[in-house]
Amino acid sequence: MENNRSSWGSNLGFLLAAIGSAVGLGNIWGFPYKMGKSGGFTFLLVYLLLAVFVGMIIMVSELAIGRKTKLSPIDAYKKVSAKFAWIGWMATIAPFLIMSFYSVLGGYCLQYIALNMTKLSFGNGAVAMSGSEIFGAMLTTPLGCVVFTALFIFLCMAIVQGGVSSGIEKFNKIGMPALFVMLLIIIVRSLTLPNAVEGLKFMFVPGYAVKAQFIEKAPNLITVLGTAGGQMFFSLSLAMGAILTYGSYLSKEENLVRNSVIIVISDTLIAIMAGIAVIPAAVANGIANGTPVGQIKLSGPNLLFVTLQDVFSNMGSLGPLFGVIFYALVLIAAISSAISLMEAIAAHWIDMDIQKGENDTRKQRVLTVSLLILFEAVIVAWDGLGSNFSPASLLGISDPPTFLDCFLDFMDCWSEGIAMPLGAMLMALMIGWEKSPELVLDEVAHGDPSEGFKKFYRICIKFVVPVVMAFVLAGQMIDFFGGPQIVWYIVSVVALVVFFCLSFFQPHAEK
Ligand code: PFF
């Protein structure tokens, strides 16, 4: 079976694809805002420490399990551990849920490219609405959102149907350098706007967000840990099957540790660069329009589709051109991430066919997966971030917790909020306690014999990762469900203890 499975054309191709998976919407609207809100460098420091002690460890583990088994998540976990085989299902359902809203957001990017092209062709006055009017009008025109969501899914489908090396790898080889150049153009434009420095202060100066009244008080360290951990996992595409699947196409000679370091550094650098591109522009434009600094919208979909559209509309005749470049770069980032999610889902069925001796089913399987994604994405597109209906309105709840605010949050809650931290915690317990760290280290040794990393890995996978994941899980549940924080800390610790016992105590024969 291994012979018929796809593989990357080169290590560089793999790296660009993995960086493509990591660099996505999370980098552009999640990282800069969370960094500013959570104390600038404090957040960056916590983020980097978590990336080294947890992110890197999970990334190496996923790549190693993928490459060792040469299987997709469901089959890979089944092969590695009978007890924890279900992590594989979690790592397949979670990317499926993420795709429900990721493709809607990708659709919005397409609509904004079209909008700015219209303005470029017919003058800024062609659509003389403000950013928030445009966004509101788009959200309350569900048919348009559905059509562009379908177009986004179709684009991703065409790439994934092309195969691992001639579809995914090829797209990223062109897309990633293009994204980088576009980002540089936007950074130069952004930093040359008057008052741009105030935006840099938001991101980098500790305490600025409180001083400028973006937030009331600085978050405590545990909150920063939860926020940075959740952001790091989503941004690095961890515990979602994507990195494991990409690893399963990687050749034995490649150095998994070095590759992981390159992916983590590139993703973090692009996140910081994205922040320098968007935050100063948004703050400068807000100040120019007389908006009090603390009231400028710097988070979530509003940042990309309201605040930044205003920036481009106010930039004069060249504004729409920068708008096209910017939304095209966000689109590339979204596609390169979405195709990794799609591949992680479809790979299971493609693998099953190869096992049965049917080698030519990729196109059909990817088509089926795309149709299923379209089906769930229609709901998210139609609810228009809660403008048209929401889980809360359907249930008749008037003051809902975040996860019922709109279908995007609902899907995000189960995937990014629960499956991701829980999946990573379970994976670490499985490797560290049920099996042995050597499961991963033997595989790592194929490309990297370094002893230092092995010691570091053993400690992190057994102790650091499970405990940090319990904090991240609690942080996510606090965000999504609200209520007394202590309850969610207790739930997370109980989960950690129960799963630890499950992995540690086992019938003697099984060891
Ligand atoms: N890393 C992507 C982002 O930052 O937007 C999102 C993502 C892609 C998460 C792939 C998970 C995944 F498997």
Indicate whether residue 266 lines ligand 1 (CB < 6 A): no
* pLDDT attached to residue 244: 98
Q: Which atom of ligand 1 is nearest to the CA of 25?
A: 5
In whole angstroms, give the CA distance from residue 214 to residue 296.
Answer: 8
* pLDDT attached to residue 511: 45
Q: Which atom of ligand 1 is nearest to the CA of 333?
A: 5
Q: What is the dihedral of CA 377, 382, 387, 393, to 10 degrees?
A: -90
Give me the numbers of helices (H) and strands (E) for the chain, helices first please. Answer: 26, 0
**Could you state, in chain order, the average pLDDT of each consecutive group of 10 residues for the chain (511 residues)?**
79 98 92 82 90 96 97 96 92 97 98 97 92 96 98 98 97 98 95 93 86 83 86 94 97 94 96 93 91 84 90 92 97 98 97 92 98 98 96 94 94 94 96 96 84 94 96 92 94 96 74 45
Select from 237, 243, 248, 408 the residue to mutate for testing ligand 1; criterion: most ligand atoms less than 8 Å from CB: 237
- pTM (global) more than 0.85: yes
Output the residue whose Cα is nearest ligand 1's atom 7: 237
* pLDDT attached to residue 117: 97
In whole angstroms, give the CA distance from residue 450 to residue 471.
Answer: 30
Q: Which atom of ligand 1 is nearest to the CA of 236?
A: 1
Select from 235, 272, 332 the residue to mutate for testing ligand 1; criterion: most ligand atoms less than 8 Å from CB: 235
Indicate whether residue 235 lines ligand 1 (CB < 6 A): yes
Question: Three-class SS of residue 102?
Answer: helix
Residue with tokens 């993703």: 267
Indicate whether residue 231 lines ligand 1 (CB < 6 A): no
DSSP 8-state assignment for residue 266:
H
Distance 85 CA to ligand 1 centre (A): 23
Q: Tell me the three-class secondary structure of 119-154, residue by residue.
A: HHHHCHHHHCCCHHHHHHHHHCCHHHHHHHHHHHHH
Indicate whether residue 73 lines ligand 1 (CB < 6 A): no
Select from 34, 90, 98, 100 the residue to mutate for testing ligand 1; criterion: most ligand atoms less than 8 Å from CB: 98
Residue with tokens 């196409």: 249
Cβ pair 360, 58 in contact under 8 A: no
In whole angstroms, give the CA distance from residue 235 to residue 250.
Answer: 21
* pLDDT attached to residue 449: 65
Distance 21 CA to ligand 1 centre (A): 6
